Structure 1
């Protein structure tokens, strides 16, 4: 018997059509009832399976990598060649302008993910460096940020002006191209502006106060990231991409000052400081599980490796401290990755039901 190709049908039965089929003798009432039961079975919701993996729109194809390589070569060569004739300010401004021009094609027309990210990053950095150079600030990475009092850094007001100008340019870029990472770039520029203004108002700020300001900025960025996350709990819109980049910015702002302070409490890391660092990393893991954002945890992995190395060294395995540290850190990451879903469900079930239900992918809220 030849195979019969049936047209695709919708999961919902058209009861008016079935009634006409019964009236014309095409179908019997019993057959219509059986079809109705079948339709309800097909349309019944399956057990909920929540995909709580972070989906990132980095690459839409190998063309993204190819184009990004071309962008790096082209803009790098343009900066190099323009430096002799236009100077530092002019060459930086030229690269920023070229990055905007390339975005008109690769971002606005082609909608290529990785090239759009690279072009925005280049535009923001080169804009900041161009304005900094115009204000007379050295553009070397060693002096590109204001520091605590006595560090030898120039006056912070030019930094504030450069960061504020970068914020304005990032806002224009987002209005034109709507690249999700732009929000994080603007948040970084705003944080830089506020930090520089703090140093301008209180020049005597020490390293401890600077670390506290960084942590405060990171917490503010984290709160903004959660606002975008909670507005798209199923992570299906542009908001989830914006939240990812904000989390990626917030994590080092929070983690680096805290753990650096702990590790620098003495001449060398001690057993006590290593245990404190691992405690902070475990706390980060808990926050990462609750929010379903691994980016929060990644920022603390380097410090976790240092802590593992300290504990292994103090246990007497000095000659093999490095490989054993990598082994412990890798085992920690793999264990967390393999049991992510189960551990996240366990953590969410320990939270109040109303709170858990509002989180992204509330797999343990019921």
Structure 2
């Protein structure tokens, strides 16, 4: 019920002394750290009131948007929504610390900023043409590239400011996503032909996000502070960015099958091996989120393989049954599986300093 931020606020308010707060954190870390790390807890709901407030918040933000569209420009409407979300966050996030409404307000704020930029920059398209001519850059292929880049850059700045003020854990993942999106868009604008390699850009972005997530994870191996929540959302973002281009390549291989039964079996084996690698990584870093976020791509790939091999009837049911049973078994024996995985990594001479920084199994 109490977060690390609540303890910090209590110290600042004089309710607790710094030493008392430190002793309390140490006590909780000692008694709950193993279970907490193993269960991968994160705060989303504290009660039904979170859902109630979230629904009301969405209605307010949508209402502001509809009214704004009738009396103001797109820029004014977006800024009004962003301002409304920020003001509501001063109470529901900063004071009440309600998790789900805080996430809704964050997205309302960021979407409002994006809508405002689309309205402002989109109306100034001739200015972008002049800029390109003066800077001797490649001719723009379409207006959306520049509008998207401008929106992503402004939303990134807005997300960073939101983080500095409210410290909502998912904000770091949003900031990372918009930063990568802006960078990828800029690469496509400045480098002719870069848009022909979207999977490469996506994979690089995914690996960078995973490394950033591990930086947060390794700073809190006992999973007792907000840093673990930040890492949780980053892993949810990293997994599809890494897996999607890999399974896209596999999909292209399946699409070129000449002899479906034989080739589909080979591609099926590749898909299974890839998912086994994901399982090993997830066990090593103790992150089910990483595994779950990539699940949809595995199901889609196996479904495509079954279809290519002529096994069409009830293939999704069979895939769901097999993967679901495997994941349930893995969940039931997660700690034991982690222990065996870490022991195997030791045998493979993975640096001990890295293994020791990971959450230890119970």
Tell me, yes or no, if structure 1 residue 347 matches structure 2 residue 341.
Answer: yes
Equivalent position of 2:162 in the other structure: 173
Q: Is the 8 A contact 1:304 1:329 kept in 2?
A: no
Equivalent position of 1:33 in the other structure: none
Q: Is the 8 A contact 2:247 2:301 kept in 1?
A: no
TM-score, scaled relative to structure 1? 0.77
Q: Is the 8 A contact 1:348 1:363 kept in 2?
A: no
Q: Is the 8 A contact 2:336 2:361 kept in 1?
A: no
Name the CA shift for 1:324/1:268 in 2 (closer, same or farther; >3 Å): farther
Deviations along 1:254-277, whole A, 9 cap, x unmatched?
A: 111221221133437833333322
Q: Structure 2, unaligned stretches of length 5 or more?
A: 1-29, 124-137, 258-263, 347-351
Equivalent position of 2:236 in the other structure: 248
Following superposition, the deviation at residue 95 of structure 1 comes to 1.2
SS in 2 for 1:98: helix
Higher alpha-carbon deviation: 178-187 or 153-162: 153-162
Larger-Rg structure: 1
Following superposition, the deviation at residue 220 of structure 1 comes to 1.0
Following superposition, the deviation at residue 203 of structure 1 comes to 2.3
TM-score, scaled relative to structure 2? 0.77
Following superposition, the deviation at residue 314 of structure 1 comes to 6.2
1:303 pairs, out of 289, 297, 306, with 297
Aligned mates of 1:235, 1:265 — CA distance in 2: 40
Following superposition, the deviation at residue 312 of structure 1 comes to 4.5
Aligned mates of 2:153, 2:170 — CA distance in 1: 18
Q: Is the 8 A contact 2:88 2:105 kept in 1?
A: yes
Deviations along 1:340-365, whole A, 9 cap, x unmatched?
A: 11111110112234432111x2228x
Equivalent position of 1:121 in the other structure: 107
Aligned mates of 1:97, 1:287 — CA distance in 2: 41
Q: Is the 8 A contact 1:79 1:91 kept in 2?
A: yes
Higher alpha-carbon deviation: 172-181 or 99-108: 172-181
Q: Is the 8 A contact 1:232 1:240 kept in 2?
A: yes
SS in 2 for 1:135: helix
Tell me, yes or no, if structure 1 residue 328 matches structure 2 residue 322.
Answer: yes
2:252 pairs, out of 264, 267, 270, with 264
Tell me, yes or no, if structure 1 residue 74 matches structure 2 residue 73.
Answer: no
SS in 2 for 1:126: helix
Following superposition, the deviation at residue 93 of structure 1 comes to 2.0
Name the CA shift for 1:200/1:332 in 2 (closer, same or farther; >3 Å): same
Q: Structure 1, unaligned stretches of length 5 or more?
A: 1-44, 138-148
Following superposition, the deviation at residue 243 of structure 1 comes to 0.8
Aligned mates of 1:313, 1:167 — CA distance in 2: 41
Q: Is the 8 A contact 1:221 1:250 kept in 2?
A: yes
Equivalent position of 2:23 in the other structure: none
If asked which structure has higher relative contact order (CA below 8 Å, sep 6+), I would say 2
Aligned mates of 2:272, 2:342 — CA distance in 1: 22
Equivalent position of 2:16 in the other structure: none
Aligned mates of 1:283, 1:129 — CA distance in 2: 40
Equivalent position of 1:290 in the other structure: 284
Aligned mates of 1:265, 1:153 — CA distance in 2: 31
Aligned mates of 2:224, 2:108 — CA distance in 1: 27
Higher alpha-carbon deviation: 52-61 or 328-337: 328-337
